[in-house]
Structure 1
Amino acid sequence: MSEPHKKEQLFELIRANPFISQQDLASQLGLSRSAVANYIATLVRERRILGRAYVLPDRRPIVCVGAANLDRKLRSLGPLGLGTSNPARQDESFGGVARNIAENLARLGAPVALVTAVGGDASGRALLAHAESAGIDTRAALRLEGAASGTYTAVLDQDGEMAVALADMAIYEALTPAFLASREQLRAGAALVVADLNLPQDSVAALLADAERHQTPLVLVAVSEPKMARLPRRLDGLRLLILNAGELAVRAGRPLDTDAEIAAACDALRRDGAQDVIVTRGAAGVLYTTDGGLARLDAPPARVVDVTGAGDAFAAAVCWSLHGGEADLAQACRRGLQLAADTIACEQTVSPALAPGRFDAPLNASPLNCQD
């Protein structure tokens, strides 16, 4: 077989499995390891691949790092009473901040890879199978036999507002800096990396250091007030931090009762190294940093069916805009608010009506028609 043909065969094997080892390539092609290394070096010089995990330049992905859970929603059928039994309806779905963002992005048509940890249980297998069916690349996920996959249980009142949530996220402690290092080339070749704060603090710090070294934009998404402790003090390398007002107050270490106090807290985050900050405020819209300070956008009207996943949808639309080269945070936030409104109108955590081209229509268009 001719040398050019061998090189093309090797390229097709890499296209099929970007994580394939040089030894596996050598075995499948009947070549020596050194010959495989030479072919790969040639493909890198030709810019047909960008190094391990052999990223193809025409499909640089958004890499989402963090939680992929089994979500349980218990919705009260009447006024919610504490300290007593409440009639309720239960639904199960797939969730987790990073996974939710990844599914929204995949439904919008972006190339997406998910770096997460799942157990060797039925939930873990189902999580990965569903993600793959949605178009998410899960080959970089960590599979832990003998461990339980993450779960998130939300209790909603009769109006769909969350009353309390319980999360078992212990498995994400396995997403250590050492594990993330094994996926560094995937992130180095990404168009954008987005991570949630279910990661250990030293892992978040490692992502920041890698983002600064590789000049790959990094977006961090807060998940709760207690997990703000996982956000490092220095944020050099951070393109964008998305968090709500309560989480910002935890970072600031004081109540933030006015827009001026919120603006001062955002300024402090920028002095700590963050390029930009978005503060979500539910039905009150969002605040976002600009060269001149802090700007506000109101949320569009929305029919509230279930608020679960709205924040993740907002973050996904913002990341979709950044991935597309959108430098205007105002436009990115408008898209985020629209997608959040679409999600609030659905019982599902990710709107099943979402599809590529959603943002081709005017942003004041009617929400998606979400069918159960």
Structure 2
Amino acid sequence: MTEQHRPDEGRILVVGSVNVDLVLGVPRHPEPGETLAGTGSRRSPGGKGANQACAAALLGGDVRFAGRTGAGPDADLALALLRDAEVDLTATKEVPAEETGLAVVTVDEAGENSIVIIAGANGSWSAQDVKSLRAAVKASDLVVSQGEIPAAAVDQLALLCAETGTRFLLNLAPVIEVGAGTLATADPLVVNESEGRLALTALTGTDAPDAPDAPDAPDDDAATVRGLRDAGVPSVVMTRGARGAILATDAEFAEVSSPKVHAVDTTGAGDAFVGALAVGLARGESAADACRRAVRVGAFAVTRHGAQPSYPSRQDELPQ
């Protein structure tokens, strides 16, 4: 479908993964070699790219999504909530020789998840595929991508953004071996604690600070964020779950606290954060203002089950 542009909203292009999530409830995560009885299962749309596009559109963003699916009913399920959210899917293509991506997600009684991903059609992205998006990149105010498509495609997307002067938000999740030039284009680079340490090691060739063991230990997350900035990343946002986020730009360094909520499922909460952050940045908000809303959107998402089904719309009241 083609969505008419809303002149009061910045245009967002999300290039990334689209999956079907198979979510398994478990009392706790199993040990290696252990068999556990689950508490239930469900299938729903997922994939980091699709999640972020859906979250942004539900919050009023003008969103185009470029993804790859296989053929068959899984593709329909994977795209269903994007269609409901009125995301422009004209740049999303079917790859008949591949399966639609699959994520197997286990969620324990505390709401914590573990995820195994089968790339399927998401792995078919090439640099040439990305080159075909030049016009869409140039027409966008913000381009968003993640680590669930091949690094060559992400590198090419960063290059297009640099050539067209389009702001590039890279959520390096999971961490893949993108080029140093790609990280130097990311404005912002969005990572969680472990992703930030891996990215810093990749950039500098040295070990990043370990996470603190004691509650009163120095905040090595902040050191990691500063290290990424010192290594040439234009701006960095580190998500830290219930502890909120850290933001570092040329203008400021800030810790943004998260509302206190009862988490039932953390699946896709980071993507809700990124989608909300993208909407704010595309609208021209400061990074700090966009982060403050994004942590509230992420907190809302963990109070509901699933990824895309848990995301708030503009009408929902966000936790304070």
Q: TM-score, normalised by structure 2?
A: 0.87
* 1:344, distance to aligned residue in structure 2 (A): 0.6
Any idea what SS the aligned residue of 1:313 has? Answer: helix
Answering whether residue 108 of structure 2 is matched by residue 108 of structure 1, we say: no
Give deviations 1:146-201, integer Å, cap 9, x for gaps: 21000101111122211x31110142222111001112101110121110111222
Residue 271 and residue 305 in structure 1: after superposition, are their counterparts in 2 closer, same or farther (change >3 A)?
Answer: same
1:249 — aligned with what? 197
Distance of 1:60 and 1:286 partners within structure 2: 24
* Contact map agreement 1:263 1:293 (CA 8 A) in 2: no
1:324 — aligned with what? 283
Distance of 1:152 and 1:241 partners within structure 2: 24
| Superposed counterparts of 1:155-304, under 5 Å | 155-162=106-113, 164-224=114-174, 228-234=175-181, 235-253=183-201, 254=207, 255-257=209-211, 261-291=220-250, 294-304=253-263
Give deviations 1:37-88, integer Å, cap 9, x for gaps: xxxxxxxxxxxxxxxxxx9693762111111100011011x34443123232
| Superposed counterparts of 1:353-368, under 5 Å | 354-356=312-314, 365=320
Distance of 1:345 and 1:216 partners within structure 2: 34
- Structure 1 gaps of 5+ residues are 1-15, 19-54, 366-372
The residue identity in structure 2 corresponding to 1:233 is A
* Contact map agreement 1:208 1:236 (CA 8 A) in 2: no
Any idea what SS the aligned residue of 1:246 has? Answer: helix
Give deviations 1:350-371, integer Å, cap 9, x for gaps: 356722355xx7x654xxxxxx
Residue 354 and residue 292 in structure 1: after superposition, are their counterparts in 2 closer, same or farther (change >3 A)?
Answer: closer
Structure 1 or 2: more helix by fraction = 1
* Contact map agreement 1:238 1:275 (CA 8 A) in 2: yes
* Contact map agreement 1:222 1:247 (CA 8 A) in 2: yes
Any idea what SS the aligned residue of 1:265 has? Answer: helix
The residue identity in structure 2 corresponding to 1:74 is L
Which has the higher Rg, Structure 1 or Structure 2? Answer: 1
* 1:283, distance to aligned residue in structure 2 (A): 1.3
1:97 — aligned with what? 48
Answering whether residue 295 of structure 2 is matched by residue 337 of structure 1, we say: yes
* Contact map agreement 1:263 1:294 (CA 8 A) in 2: no
Residue 263 and residue 79 in structure 1: after superposition, are their counterparts in 2 closer, same or farther (change >3 A)?
Answer: closer
Q: For the aligned residues, what is the CA RMSD?
A: 2.4
Any idea what SS the aligned residue of 2:41 has? Answer: strand
* 1:211, distance to aligned residue in structure 2 (A): 1.1
- % identical equivalent positions: 25
Any idea what SS the aligned residue of 1:229 has? Answer: coil
The count of residues paired between Structure 1 and Structure 2 equals 305
1:65 — aligned with what? 15
In structure 2, which of residues 100, 105, 113 is the aligned counterpart of residue 154 of structure 1? 105
1:48 — aligned with what? none
Residue 87 and residue 270 in structure 1: after superposition, are their counterparts in 2 closer, same or farther (change >3 A)?
Answer: closer
Any idea what SS the aligned residue of 1:195 has? Answer: strand
State the structure with bigger RCO (CA 8 A, min sep 6), 1 or 2: 2
* 1:260, distance to aligned residue in structure 2 (A): 5.8
* 1:123, distance to aligned residue in structure 2 (A): 0.6
The residue identity in structure 2 corresponding to 1:168 is I
1:45 — aligned with what? none
* 1:112, distance to aligned residue in structure 2 (A): 0.8
* Contact map agreement 1:342 1:351 (CA 8 A) in 2: no
Distance of 1:355 and 1:156 partners within structure 2: 24
The residue identity in structure 2 corresponding to 1:295 is A
The residue identity in structure 2 corresponding to 1:338 is R
